């Protein structure tokens, strides 16, 4: 499993939201590039960048910052406002190695098929879960789709990378939400897809608990607030995922 440091951008700054609530924001770095440099120096392999303004407006708003981060030479996974082919093309042209789509997977599955046909496994589908259903529109709206059902439907369209977020614990440091993971992993494993988990990581022990589950599809974990608060470093977290070898 790979540890993905999160860089959530709002108003040009790095922030963290609690449970996806735009009214519960904690500011961190004034410049996203500073955070990216720090995580790279701590041996991050992939940076998970989220354009929060784009997620809310429906189109990317910080591709200039994405370009600067990508120029550091670290792999970038970008989400937020990527709801049409032009937005995804712009994100990849700005240097993102992977583009995360969430709302489009629910509202326009044919678009996802087209994107996968054009870009293969550079396309990641977000399964942002709240109350057992997938949230869309910057997590401001609730769909009727269950995460495992959406994963199955998107896998049938060729998607092989998925991001599962438990919104209820996201940004809380209260630990990962493990109850729903086995069901999602079972579907991902059956179709040969990779799953990245996000939400609630607050300690090294949380990472060890995830690793100990032994889920076949789980290929990564996104960590935000715990890194910004210095609870552990990227390399310490990666060592925990590697079994502290």
Per-residue pLDDT of 208-219, as tens digits, reads: 999 999 999 999
Q: Which of 51, 53, 128, 170 is catalytic?
A: 128
- Of the candidates 8, 51, 170, 185, the residue annotated as catalytic is 8
pLDDT, one tens digit per residue, over 149-195 is 999 999 999 999 999 999 999 989 999 998 889 999 999 999 999 99
> Tokens standing for 149?
């059902």
Give the integer Cα–Cα distance in Å for 77 and 88. 12
Give the pLDDT confidence of 28-76 residue by residue, as tens digits.
999 999 999 999 999 999 999 999 999 999 999 999 999 999 999 999 9
Structural domains of the chain, with CATH: 2-241 (3.20.20.70)
Q: What is the pTM of this model?
A: 0.95
Q: What is the pLDDT of residues 125-156, one digit of tens each?
A: 999 999 999 998 888 888 999 999 999 999 99
Q: Give the pLDDT of residue 139.
A: 81
> Are 101 and 70 spatial neighbours (Cβ–Cβ below 8 Å)?
no
pLDDT of residue 21: 81
185 is an active site residue = no
245 pLDDT tier (thresholds 50, 70, 90): low
SS3 labels along the chain: CEEEEEEEEECCEEEEEECCEEEEEEECCCCHHHHHHHHHHCCCCEEEEEEHHHHHHCCCCCHHHHHHHHCCCCEEEEECCCCCHHHHHHHHHCCCCEEEECHHHHHCHHHHHHHHHHHHHHEEEEEEEECCEEEECCCCEECCCCHHHHHHHHHCCCCCEEEEEECCCCCCCCCCCCCCHHHHHHHHHHHCCEEEEECCCCCHHHHHHHHHCCCCCEEEEEECHHHHCCCCCHHHHHHHHCCCC
Q: Kindly report the length of the chain.
A: 245
Residue 144 is among the residues annotated as catalytic for this protein: no
Q: Is the pLDDT of residue 230 over 60?
A: yes
Q: What is the mean pLDDT of the chain?
A: 94
């Amino acid at each position: 499993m790979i540890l993905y440091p999160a860089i959530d951008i709002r108003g040009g700054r790095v922030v963290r939201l609690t449970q996806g609530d735009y009214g519960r924001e904690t500011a961190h770095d004034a410049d996203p590039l500073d955070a990216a440099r720090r995580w790279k120096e701590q041996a991050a392999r992939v940076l998970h960048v989220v354009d929060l303004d784009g997620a809310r407006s429906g189109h990317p708003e910080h591709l200039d910052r994405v370009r600067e981060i990508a120029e550091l030479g670290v792999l970038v996974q970008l989400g937020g406002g990527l709801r049409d082919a032009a937005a995804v093309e712009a994100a990849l042209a700005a240097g993102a190695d992977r583009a995360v789509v969430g709302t489009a997977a629910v509202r326009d599955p044919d678009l996802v098929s087209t994107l996968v046909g054009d870009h293969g496994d550079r396309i990641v589908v977000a399964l942002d879960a709240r109350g057992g259903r997938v949230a869309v529109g910057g997590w401001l709206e609730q769909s009727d789709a269950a995460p495992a059902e959406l994963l199955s439907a998107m896998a049938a369209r060729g998607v092989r990378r998925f991001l599962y977020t438990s919104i209820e614990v996201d940004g809380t440091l209260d630990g990962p939400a493990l109850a729903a993971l086995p069901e999602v992993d079972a579907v991902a494993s059956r179709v040969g897809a990779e799953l990245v988990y996000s939400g609630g990581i607050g300690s090294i022990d949380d990472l060890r608990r995830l690793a100990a589950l032994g889920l076949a599809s789980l290929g990564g974990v996104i960590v935000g607030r715990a890194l910004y608060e210095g609870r552990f470093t990227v390399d310490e977290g990666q060592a925990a995922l590697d079994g502290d070898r």
